[in-house]
Structure 1
Amino acid sequence: MSTPFEQLGIAPDASPKDIKRAYHAKLKQFPAHTHPQEFKAIRAAYDALRQGSTATVEDFFKRKPLEASFAPQTLATLREQATAAVQIDLKTLTRLTF
């Protein structure tokens, strides 16, 4: 797969002004109503460069590990609240069930 720079026909060290100029030139060359696939590729390349990323569409759908950490005190508080909310007596459980 070609890089966003290759799709727009510019050098990797191009300035933002050059990137925008090349983008508009490519849009004139490949209008959306006659070249929809090329238009989408040009738009994706410009978005990637504008955001400062060289990520591709395939990279978007790759799984990324989820990292989360919680303070032990917060976990203890949540555990206590959940336990208190779940504790009911047998009489109330029977009444709610039937």
Structure 2
Amino acid sequence: MADKLTDEARDTKLGPLMTAGWAHDAERDALTKTFKFADFAEAFAFMTRVAIVADKMDHHPEWFNVYNRVEVTLTTHDANGLSDLDVSLATTMDGFA
């Protein structure tokens, strides 16, 4: 089970993600971001690359796709909020995008 991020970890790890366009949903203690691509094929390719990594991590995003847009929510349900798994997957997603 992953541990929820401490206040100190949030200060250091979430800042770069916020700068990269992620938002914090305080109600769910989750990270959210909308990725936009040229078309459906690019959006689906992004989701496929992320799915492979997420499955290896055993940490799966909540996401929604319409045409060229992928809306993502990351939170660790077992930790009741954000964990290092969310930070790692968000960073990976930004790299793929």
The TM-score, its normalising length taken from structure 1, stands at: 0.31
- Larger strand share, 1 or 2: 2
The TM-score, its normalising length taken from structure 2, stands at: 0.31
Q: Which structure would you say has the larger Rg?
A: 1
Q: Which has the higher contact order (CA 8 A, sep 6+)?
A: 2
